[in-house]
Amino acid sequence: MDEDKIEALFKEILKEIGIEEDSEVFKNTPKRIARSYKEIFAGMDDGNEPRITLFKNQGYNDILSVKDIPFYSMCEHHLLPFFGTVSIAYIPGNSILGLSKFPRITRFFAAKPQVQERLTKEIADFISEKVEAKGVLVVIKARHMCMEMRGVKSGNAETRSSAIRGVLKESRETREEALKLLLED
């Protein structure tokens, strides 16, 4: 990502919307935007994919859940933020995933222009495939600034999505147990 180019382009955008680039407040704004975009869109670089730590499963065959992992992403249609929480339940196979990896996986896939549906799918697929989990359930609850700040201006509307893989998709009873773990307080 070329920060100098992004900075120059944002100078033009600010000028176009009527902001004087030499004003005290906005003088360094294009530079700050360029630096923040490098961080916000770090998921565009596959080299930033999280390294996962797997441990030999010592016989755990039940559901493990991690709730309310915060995330921030950018809507690919408007480049406005959407944010919320990701909750994940999985049944391990031969390996278990280090707990700190769930937020890292979430952060990686959120760090690019996204739609909530694909974000949900990418997290579920990654855990299902890389960990070879027996089952995975991902639930995302999010607020979208493209709905709240513009257009319909639907403040506080929460969008929920889910992706289900493996035995959690096949067994209604197991899926309901996983959903109960993720959705109840």
Annotated binding-site residue numbers for Zn(2+)? 75, 78, 146
Q: What is the 3-state secondary structure (H, E, C) of the chain?
A: CCHHHHHHHHHHHHHHCCCCCCCCCCCCHHHHHHHHHHHHCHHHCHHHCCCCCEEECCCCCCCEEEEEEEEEEEECCCCCEEEEEEEEEEECCCEEECCCHHHHHHHHHHCCEECHHHHHHHHHHHHHHHCCCCEEEEEEEEEEHHHHCCCCCCCCCCEEEEEEEEHHHHCHHHHHHHHHHHHCC
Is 58 one of the catalytic residues? Answer: no
Is 77 one of the catalytic residues? Answer: yes
Is 144 one of the catalytic residues? Answer: yes
Catalytically annotated residue among 3, 21, 146, 148: 146
- Residues at the annotated binding site? 75, 78, 146
Is 7 one of the catalytic residues? Answer: no
Catalytically annotated residue among 76, 129, 132, 170: 76
Catalytically annotated residue among 77, 117, 129, 170: 77
Is 170 one of the catalytic residues? Answer: no
Is 76 one of the catalytic residues? Answer: yes
Is 177 one of the catalytic residues? Answer: no
Tell me which residues are annotated as active site: 75-78, 116, 144, 146
